Structure 1
Amino acid sequence: MDHSYEWYSAPVTSVAVLVELMRSGTSGGHVKCWERFAESAARLPHTAPELDLTVYYLGTQERVEALSPHVRLVMLRPVLGSGALTSARGAEDVTDLAPYHPRLAALLPRHDVWHLTHGFAYAATAVRLARRTARRGGPAPRLVASVHTDVPALAAVYARYLAARRLPAAAEPLARGAERRLRRRRDRLLNACERVLAPTPAGCAELVPVLGAHRVALLRRGIDHTRFHPDPAARTELTRAHGIPADRPLILFAGRLDASKGLPLLADSVRLLRAGGLPVHLVLAGAGTEAEPVRRSLAPDVTLLGPLPQDRLARVYAGCDLFAFPSRTETCGNAVAEAMASGLPVLLPAGARTTRWLTAPGEDGVIVPVDTPHAWAAALSTLLTDPARLTGMGRRAAATARETHPSWDRVLREDLLPLWVREERWGRGLGSER
């Protein structure tokens, strides 16, 4: 662990990635995404374009974690943390709601490229500081951004939760208002950037009317194939460690346990399966406001594992039979890629961006046509009552992951380095593909 601020001294492009979310071992996909990219950057060969990378997170105390001489993670304390506003333990990611972060502002001038990934204190500070620098005629940083979460849509869900405590009649108007305001704020921040990356072609298309096609590009998500892979021994481990029944199919859901991810819909569909006599067990990895309602409604046919670090989560994927993910708020949905790499058939809602992980719907996964408990129960039943099809689809899902889902190293090289590093430094050897 390195607690000092030591930046690489060679002539480099210095990049600051701003992830204004609290970092921990059980953080969500946005935090993990940049951990993986930082690990990939630390593996870059000496012949790669000269890059010095700092990823800024929130933390309970300020500290620096060095991954290599030219890659580090920096945790800064929030100025106005959102923890007091969460609607339930583990329901929302903690961010910083302050309009300005003085400590970050003091560190940003060290960097050439400021990469925004969210829409609160860090992003607002970067845009404000860049504009101030430009007015004073100083050396202007390059502002770029990437979209990782549909924050406005999530804000609408949480506004409903919070309003339900005291103002239930006002919940819907408050939710719609919160979504509109945050969408306008997001667009203003993105409009300050020279280039904005989105995780899917559909996401890019949504940004084109706001930014113009010349300013929008794709940032794919990677997958760690060494961590997520099929393993027949994982089922026994899962049963032994958590007391999960070994004599029935296991349906897995991983992510935030709330309405924004479609969990109530999945719980209702499992309830219909059980009422129809199909013995299934639901396994939930994550935390959120719907955890207790689902526990009460499905016990003893549900196991709640809580938030899990990546290594333990990988064993849970490999130990289950099927991954059901009704969420429509994902910009990408890395949990789907992790499940497929682990050899699980995936069930996804029609029209969701997560369906882009499939290359042959019906063969490497199932797209459920409508968001009703009966439709989801029917799709689950069709697979779970046909063991040969379930096994075959799991194998095809793993094959799709191996053949078409890129590694984090590849995405860094192909999507991020060309964005960060000037063209005159580009085109040098980048090593073999991973």
Structure 2
Amino acid sequence: MVLAGSRVRVMVVQEVVPHYRLRLFELLHAQLAQVGIELTVVHGNPNREQAAKQDLVDLPPPVGLKVNNLRLTERLLYQPVVSRLLQADLAIFPNAAGYLPNYLFWLKGRQRPPRLGFWVYHTRERAADRSLKEAVSRRMMRRADWWFAYTAGTRDYLLMNGAVDERITVLNNSVDVAGFRALLAAVGAEELSEFRRRRKIPAGAPVALFCGGLHREKRLDFLFEALRLIHRECPDFQLLVIGDGACRATVEREAARDTRVHALGALFGQDKARAFRLAQLALCPGLVGLGILDACAAGLPLLTTDLPGHSPEIDYLRHGINGWMTVPEPRAYANAVLRLLRCEAQRRELSRAALESARHHSIEDMAGRFAQGIRDCLARP
């Protein structure tokens, strides 16, 4: 047990910090400071693929500690913070076989600080993984004093692999839903008209959007194949593509070929809100992650496909209630889009449920859960 009244240090280790994590760490730092716990978030410089997304931030002191990420190979990462971590009362790591400091703290044992927490990311694909890398991660995971699970589905994965239920905190991974909803509410009719005019989107044309990192797991080629099928039956259908990344050229080629595809690049704040306000549907046939909460905040039903590689946040999608999931085949996906475009009553019902879902996944709640989990871990004998 960490004694009350003593200086208590907690360090959270991240490879990089995406912009959507900024509010979480600000809230977490403030909440822990109120009870005498000093939080530092270690993070480093991005690799080329991470930098290409253009969605990273540096956390200013005292919240953040920027270090130099040393990549020994594409999958092996070292951060020069071991001496600082050894002075902490609790260190929270990503549960990753490729993060080298994990091995030191795994082998160190429980005889001296810091206590070890793992922030665990889980997918259906990972649950079925029998590779040596995953075996090492699972063995390492069991050494933790506490586990911070992305979602309830992650908690189930942890329990199947030897974690102790009383030492799991389910975070319900989130973004700043309330902040985005405020931006959406501030978008006026004139702004939307100007957005349409500037992008040459005909008045009354149906609009959908994709928002996320432009990388292979998002299945952009699949999206554009389905789009061509949609255009055969709905020629004026428009697609806004928000994001950046390694597959940007794929999007730019499609936009150059078809003026109904609008490559907007990475958007944030009010610019992003305008695009979401204009759309009726959110499309992501590949990996679904936290983008589902942006869609829900805007009342956009999200359409995806039944794949094993989704992020934990796929738990938030309820097929036929707040979104839609098809088999991973472009014709089936195109048919689902067309169905929802034609059936306004069903689309509105999905939209209403999506808005309701957003209310249950706030960044404030996530920060509160995270802070309570840290306090519970430190309070244990």
* TM-score (norm. length: structure 1): 0.70
CA 45–109 in structure 1, closer or farther in 2 if over 3 Å, else same: closer
Q: The residue matched to 1:221 in structure 2 has which SS?
A: coil
Match of 2:120 in 1: 147
In the TM superposition, what are the counterparts of 1:354-433 in structure 2 within 5 Å?
354-358=313-317, 361-368=319-326, 370-402=327-359, 404-405=360-361, 407-413=362-368, 415-422=369-376
CA separation in 2, counterparts of 1:374 and 1:55?
A: 45
By how many angstroms is 1:263 displaced? 2.4
Aligned length: 353
Q: Is the 8 A contact 1:343 1:394 kept in 2?
A: yes
Distance in 2 (alpha carbons) for counterparts of 1:183 and 1:424: 28
Unaligned segments of structure 2, at least 5 residues = 47-57
> Structure 2 residue aligned with 1:131, among 99, 104, 107?
107
| Superposition pairs of residues 337-356 of structure 1, within 5 angstroms | 337-350=293-306, 354-356=313-315
Identity of aligned residues (%): 22
Q: Which amino acid aligns with 1:250?
A: V
Query: Amino acid of the residue matched to residue 220 of structure 1?
Result: N
CA RMSD of aligned residues (A): 3.4
Question: What SS class does the counterpart of residue 65 from structure 1 fall into?
Answer: coil
Partner Cα separation in structure 2 for residue 80 and residue 130 of structure 1: 20
- 2:152, 2:137 → 1: CA distance? 19
Q: Could you say which residue in structure 2 is the equivalent of 1:430? A: none
**Contact 1:259 / 1:290 at 8 angstroms: preserved in 2?**
yes
Within a 5 Å distance, the mapping from 1:140-289 to structure 2 comes to: 140-148=113-121, 180-214=131-165, 216-229=168-181, 230-231=184-185, 233=188, 235-236=192-193, 238-239=195-196, 242-289=199-246
Change (3 A) 1:422 1:389: closer
CA, structure 1 residues 295+74, in 2 after alignment: closer, same or farther (shift >3 Å)? same
Question: 1-side partners of 2:72 and 2:277: how far apart?
Answer: 36
* Counterpart residue number, 2:36: 50
- Verify the 8 A CA contact 1:255 1:286 in the aligned structure 2: yes
Q: Distance in 1 between matches of 2:28 and 2:351?
A: 32
Q: Identify if the C-alpha distance between structure 1 residues 248 and 209 changes in structure 2 by more than 3 Å, giving closer, same or farther.
A: same
Question: 2:260 is matched with which residue?
Answer: 301
Note the C-alpha offset of 1:287: 2.3
Partner of 1:168: none
Cα distance change of structure 1 residues 354 and 41 upon mapping to structure 2, 3 Å threshold: closer
Distance 1:314 1:419 in 2: 33
SS of match in other structure, 1:347: strand
- Aligned AA (1:228): F
Q: CA deviation at 1:364?
A: 2.7
Name the residue aligned to 2:279: 320
CA contact (8 A) 1:321 1:344 kept: yes
Deviation of 1:381 (Å): 0.2
Amino acid at match of 2:67: L
- State which of 85, 93, 97 in structure 1 corresponds to 2:76: 97
Secondary structure class of the residue paired with 1:20: coil
Whole-angstrom distance in 1 between the partners of 2:8 and 2:376: 8
Match of 2:92 in 1: 115
| TM-aligned CA deviation for residue 128 of structure 1 | 0.5
Say whether the 8 Å CA contact 1:345–1:364 is kept in structure 2: yes
> Would you say the 8 A contact 1:235–1:320 is kept in 2?
no
Task: Say whether the 8 Å CA contact 1:348–1:355 is kept in structure 2.
Answer: no
C-alpha distance 292-19 of structure 1, shift in aligned 2 (>3 A): same
Aligned-residue offset at 1:416? 1.6
Deviation for aligned residue 1:77: 1.2
Q: Indicate conservation of the 8 Å contact 2:9/2:37, yes or no.
A: yes
User: What's the secondary structure of 1:110's corresponding residue?
Assistant: coil
TM-score (norm 2): 0.79
Alpha-carbon contact 1:252-1:284 (below 8 Å) kept: yes
5+ unaligned residues in a row in structure 1: which ranges? Answer: 1-9, 86-95, 154-175, 427-434
Equivalent residues of 1:15, 1:53 under 8 A apart: yes
Alpha-carbon distance in structure 2 between the residues aligned to 1:334 and 1:357 = 9
Q: Following the alignment from structure 2 to structure 1, what is the Cα–Cα distance between the partners of residues 209 and 59?
A: 35
Compared with structure 1, are the counterparts of its residues 152 and 183 closer, same or farther at alpha carbon in structure 2 (3 Å cutoff)? farther
User: Which residue pairs with 1:156 in the alignment?
Assistant: none
